[in-house]
Amino acid sequence: MQRSRALWAGIAAGVFAVIPLLTRDTFALRVVTEAMMWIGLAVAWDVLGGYTGYLNFGHGAFFGLGAYTTAVLMMRGHWPFALALVAGGVTAGAAAVVAGLPTLRLKGAYFAIATWALSRAVQQLALVLEFTGGPDGMRLPPFLNPMFFYYLMWALVTAIFVVLWILLERSAFGLKLQAIREDEEGAMALGLRPTAIKVQAFVLSTVPAGILGGVYAYWITFIDPASVLGDLVTDQSVVMAVFGGLGTLVGPAVGAVLIYAFKTFFWAYLSEYQVLYLIILGTVIALSVVFLPDGLIGLMARRRIKEPAEPEPADEDSQGLREVAP
């Protein structure tokens, strides 16, 4: 199962790599670039939400922290983009440590509410600080090179997926997270330190979000608290991960592609009904929880046709015993 998912992920990465060779349409490249960004955000959210079992409703705060850190360092400190981008990831990771130490001692809805409150606090902070531009936002120097941002996003998302696959699917760290998800007290009895491991998972989830936020800021050239610190970033990441399948990495990637394709279609042809988008988004996640508890990947696994197992050939000794038995 893991090998087949890794194979499909590799094929998908190859397809994304050759898309610019098939079309030079700027709009198409922009759409696929943003789709890859959402894949990275959904997969990163799944580290804490899927593998560890802690629903993080503040994911967008770390995306916004990365975006604002990159923007401020480039515009106020005149840092080169590469260094500012690294600083955005470091800032998101440091914020996860500071926020995670107290909040990750909470469980269930309490942790979810705490992370949502954190997101609101960061957004309000960005609204009142002068160096962030307040409600007016910030502008970054334009760099009009769609191919640069396309392949930068492709390289980052591919690297994020590979690193997370190794850590979560091919190492003991992923087993520790799953042990905490299934039975935290039991994991503690086995000698694990749940709080420390959960903080590591929190950092592993937020650093990619911060880096992607920095790329998004430079790519869009304008950010404000509503665009990078609003609820939509978190909401869509959650819906994509839940719809695709929690705790699988491939599931959130599939969910991200499908949900973003629907979003693009909706905004292109039904933009006059903007208020319906969030209603539909909420309905999708509610139906997914009820009817697709394991997401699309779980549904596909359950429907996989299993070949009937062939009876094992009897060895000579057992055959002889059957012959002499009355």
- Asked whether residue 61 carries a pLDDT value surpassing 90, the answer given is yes
Query: What kind and span of H or E run contains 132?
Result: none
Query: DSSP secondary-structure letter at 49?
Result: I
- By three-state DSSP, how is residue 139 classified? strand
85 contacts: CB under 8 Å, gap ≥ 6: 70, 211, 214, 215, 218
Q: Which two tokens mark 67?
A: 């975006």
In this prediction, residue 49 carries a pLDDT of 92
Question: Look-up: residue for tokens 């091919």?
Answer: 170
Distance CA 108, CA 81 (A): 38
Query: What kind and span of H or E run contains 223?
Result: strand 222-223
Question: Look-up: residue for tokens 């006059």?
Answer: 272
Whether 205 is in a domain gets the answer yes
Question: How many CB atoms are located within 10 Å of the residue 326 CB?
Answer: 2
139: β partners? 222
Whether 218 is in a domain gets the answer yes
pLDDT, tens digit (0-9, with 9 covering 90-100), for 71-109: 999 999 899 999 999 999 999 999 999 999 999 988 888
In this prediction, residue 19 carries a pLDDT of 87
C-alpha closest to that of 145 among 12, 268, 24:
24
Question: Look-up: residue for tokens 């610019």?
Answer: 20
In this prediction, residue 317 carries a pLDDT of 47
Instruction: Identify which of 6-20, 35-49, 227-241 has the greatest average pLDDT.
Output: 35-49
Whether 157 is in a domain gets the answer yes
In this prediction, residue 306 carries a pLDDT of 54
Domain tally, the chain:
1
- By three-state DSSP, how is residue 138 classified? strand
Give percent of the chain with pLDDT exceeding 90. 52
Q: What is the mean pLDDT of residues 65-71?
A: 96
Q: Please list the alpha-helical segments (H only) found in 221-294.
A: 225-228, 231-244, 250-269, 274-291
Domain hosting residue 141, numbered range: 2-229
pLDDT band at 273 (very low <50, low <70, confident <90, very high): low
Q: Are 247 and 294 in contact (CB under 8 A)?
A: no
pLDDT band at 16 (very low <50, low <70, confident <90, very high): confident
Distance CA 33, CA 81 (A): 18
Whether 251 is in a domain gets the answer no
Single-letter amino acid code for the residue at 322: R
Whether 201 is in a domain gets the answer yes
pLDDT band at 303 (very low <50, low <70, confident <90, very high): low
Q: What is the mean pLDDT of residues 178-198?
A: 89
**Distances in whole angstroms, Cα of residue 254 to Cα of each of 52, 78, 102, 243:** 20, 38, 33, 9
Q: What is the mean pLDDT of residues 201-215?
A: 96
pLDDT, tens digit (0-9, with 9 covering 90-100), for 163-186: 999 999 889 999 999 999 988 888
- By three-state DSSP, how is residue 241 classified? helix
- Asked whether residue 326 carries a pLDDT value surpassing 50, the answer given is no
Q: What is the mean pLDDT of residues 199-210?
A: 96
Whether 278 is in a domain gets the answer no
In this prediction, residue 199 carries a pLDDT of 94
- Asked whether residue 325 carries a pLDDT value surpassing 60, the answer given is no
Whether 315 is in a domain gets the answer no
In this prediction, residue 205 carries a pLDDT of 95
Q: What is the mean pLDDT of the chain?
A: 86
Whether 19 is in a domain gets the answer yes
Q: How far is CA 43 from the centre of its chain?
A: 3
In this prediction, residue 278 carries a pLDDT of 75
